[in-house]
Amino acid sequence: MTQHGHFHWNELMTRNLEQTRAFYHDALGWEFDTMDMPGGGTYLIAMGAQMPVCGIFEMSGTDFDGVSDHWLSYIAVDDIDKRLEKASAGGATVTREPWDVPGVGRIAMLQEPGGAQIGWMTPAAND
């Protein structure tokens, strides 16, 4: 399991999944495993040297209106709910309340006081 306070995962949110897949395959040699996302869509897990490198998914729907392609990092925390309380007390804004992803962990999105967006997650025990 990734240590508390360390970067744990990165995701690329894109508007063109196939173009992005082709680019990283050609440029870096990544291969891809796919999984279905709850509510529809495909989530790509980029593999480098047979190890997971990052996730990639296609932004669609009104939730992503006006949002450009971007990378998002996630930091591992020991207890997402308690850490969000501390973050909020320190001036952060929770932009998406915690939710559980089976086999992955408990995740939340926040904006730190300087304005940067970040994901925090308590990874699943099997990680």
Would the CATH topology of 10-60 be identical to that of 77-127?
Answer: yes
- Quote the pLDDT of residue 42: 87
pLDDT per position as a tens digit, 34-56: 988 877 788 999 999 999 999 99
The beta strands (E) that lie in 1-127 are given as 7-14, 31-36, 42-48, 51-58, 70-76, 93-101, 105-111, 117-123
Residues 6+ apart with CB under 8 A from 56: 11, 12, 13, 14, 17, 20, 21, 24, 32, 43, 44, 46
pLDDT per position as a tens digit, 82-96: 999 999 999 999 999
pLDDT per position as a tens digit, 56-72: 999 988 878 888 999 99
pLDDT per position as a tens digit, 12-34: 999 999 999 999 999 999 999 99
| pTM for the structure as a whole | 0.85
Give residue limits of the domains in the chain. 10-60, 77-127
CATH class as words, domain 10-60: alpha beta
CATH number (3.40.630.40, 3.10.180.10, 1.20.1050.10, 3.40.30.10) of 77-127 reads 3.10.180.10
